[in-house]
Amino acid sequence: MATRADAGARPARRVSAGFGLIGPRRERHTLPLAQLESLSLPVGDDGVVVGADSEGQPCVVGFSRPDPFDVVLVGGLWTAQALALRAAGTGSRVAVETGRPEAWAPLVQAAGGGQPCMTLCEVGRVPPQGPSAGSPVLVVRDCGMRPPRGRVSALPWQAVLTLLPYLSPVAPRLLDKADLAGVQRVSPPEATKIGQILSLPATDVESLSTLGDGVTLWSNQRSRQYTVTQPTDAETGLLGNPRRLD
């Protein structure tokens, strides 16, 4: 016979073998098929924001990838430094190979909030960086119009960005093998030559000599995109306003 104490006792909770106590039960979350199109998430490409397109939408380049990635920028130091700073902000280690360390030193000191995320290297003396999926690397080669053939090269998880201030004799070879090419304002003769190398239409060739500061035409074998790089307040404090010439 059950006692009063037994009758007033709380019922024992059921136990699911191997999974502990069974928790509260909820109805399943469902969404009518007609409302499915309204469900969206603000997910974009993973990488570095190189600028915005004509509609103001951000354009992203994924420098950190499991395949070697070579980028050539025919443009100004300001853009190369902005990209290096943004790459460091995404968690990449940045090695700068340059013959003008005085131009990079303030940026290197300010990047990473005191963490050694950006380092300076002499031309031809970039040590092995040991890139990996957990520690990707961007090597920026700021070695003038005729960058020498150095030990550094694109590797899995190690992208190389070569900066050319103008179209030099070595530029056709570098642009031809690049996975991505960026071109800022150049002279009309340079624009014609670049158009031949990159197979650009006549409208793009004509526009290359009239681009504003901070505007870049990015091109690969599949597509072309003009972007405008707008600096953040922190970037303006470090780098100043966008400019093509240094």
> Domain-by-domain residue ranges, the chain?
48-53+63-124+134-239
Query: Tens digits of per-residue pLDDT, 127-162?
Result: 999 999 999 999 999 999 989 876 789 999 999 999
β-strands 158-164, 137-142: how paired?
parallel
* Claim: this prediction has a pTM higher than 0.95: no
pLDDT of the residue at 38: 57
Of 3.40.50.300, 3.30.870.10, 3.40.50.720, 3.40.50.1110, the CATH number of 48-53+63-124+134-239 is: 3.40.50.300
Query: Tens digits of per-residue pLDDT, 20-58?
Result: 445 455 555 566 766 655 554 433 457 899 999 999 999
Q: Look at residues 94, 74, 99 and name the one whose alpha carbon lies nearest to residue 83.
A: 94
Confidence of residue 113 (pLDDT cuts 50, 70, 90): low
pLDDT of the residue at 148: 87
pLDDT of the residue at 36: 56
Residue 244 reports pLDDT greater than 80: yes
Write the burial class of residue 199 (CB in 10 Å: 0-12 exposed, 13-18 middle, 19+ buried).
exposed
Pull the structure tokens for residue 56: 């103001």
Query: Tens digits of per-residue pLDDT, 200-239?
Result: 999 999 999 999 999 999 999 889 999 999 999 999 999 9
